[in-house]
């Protein structure tokens, strides 16, 4: 059982690197501080080219959103979204249709403040300050009720977020709660750090993030796959993110680091 009072206690902290701003810094964004940029420099010094991991994960999200739009899913709930820049969900959707809705969710106050300013001119997207480990606060929020129709298919995006959920907070049970809240033909996208193929790199990333406001844990691909439950994994199955429905010009590319596993699955109905 997750202690929701503990989840509500996160305060603004600019003295330690935070996951959302680290991601933004790796992607070349401007919504980060010196502590995040120094984190990136240290990581690149020890793991040359590690920036590719973050770009590859964002590219997976883009391809997943494009797939979902092509299959008639136009509502997106993005948990642990970080800062919605550099080709994030609403930007991808907006290039393809005007009929979309995106609700971003993050629990870091400054990330949410930055995101709200970025979304001021986009009525089809919003962000709420909530912790994904408290599904009720997400699913019953006024913003969710205004933007998302849960009686229709929704794309639930859990991209690079569950590795920040410790075992004590029962991540598998958490995902099950969200799955049950979705209508038939909804989809679930997950990416997660894994040590299956490159334990040394995954271990180094765990060590680096242990010094941040958001420690993480790598888990096995089998454990990650089980999170989809009875959802039907879409072709071509789960895989390293660069292998999942790659762009034609990237189909033969070989990533330097294979540490992010993921996939997309549909709720039968």
| pLDDT confidence band for 1 (50 / 70 / 90) | very low
Domain ranges of the chain: 13-266
pLDDT tens-digit series, residues 103-120: 999 999 999 999 999 999
Fold topology of 13-266 = Rossmann fold (3.40.50)
pLDDT score, position 89 = 97
pLDDT at position 251 is: 63
Q: Are 11 and 156 in contact (CB under 8 A)?
A: no
pLDDT in tens, 218-227: 999 999 999 9
**What pLDDT was estimated at residue 6?**
46
pLDDT tier at 267 (50, 70, 90 boundaries)? very high
State the chain's mean pLDDT as an integer.
Answer: 94
């Amino acid at each position: 059982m997750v202690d929701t009072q503990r989840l509500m206690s996160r305060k603004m902290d600019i003295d330690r690197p935070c996951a959302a701003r680290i991601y933004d810094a790796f992607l070349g964004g401007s919504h980060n501080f010196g502590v995040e940029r120094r984190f990136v420099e240290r990581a690149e010094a020890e793991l040359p080219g590690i920036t590719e991991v973050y770009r590859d994960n964002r590219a997976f999200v883009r391809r997943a959103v494009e797939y979902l739009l092509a299959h008639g899913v136009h509502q997106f709930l993005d948990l642990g979204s970080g800062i919605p820049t550099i080709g994030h969900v609403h930007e991808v959707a907006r290039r393809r249709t005007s009929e979309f809705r995106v609700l971003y969710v993050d629990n870091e106050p400054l990330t949410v403040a930055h995101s709200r300013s970025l979304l001021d001119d986009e009525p089809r997207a919003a962000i709420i300050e909530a912790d994904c480990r408290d599904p009720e606060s997400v699913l019953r929020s006024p913003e969710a009720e205004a933007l998302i129709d849960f009686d229709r298919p929704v794309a639930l995006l859990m991209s690079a977020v569950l590795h920040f959920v410790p075992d004590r907070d029962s991540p598998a049970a958490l995902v099950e709660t969200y799955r049950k809240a979705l209508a038939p033909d909804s989809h679930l996208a997950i990416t997660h750090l894994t040590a299956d193929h490159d334990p040394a790199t995954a271990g180094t990333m765990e060590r680096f993030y242990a010094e941040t406001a958001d420690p993480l844990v790598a888990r096995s691909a089998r454990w990650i796959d089980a999170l989809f439950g009875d959802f039907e994994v879409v072709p071509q199955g789960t895989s390293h993110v660069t292998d999942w429905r790659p762009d034609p010009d990237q189909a033969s590319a070989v990533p330097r680091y294979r540490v992010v596993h993921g996939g997309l699955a549909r709720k039968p109905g």
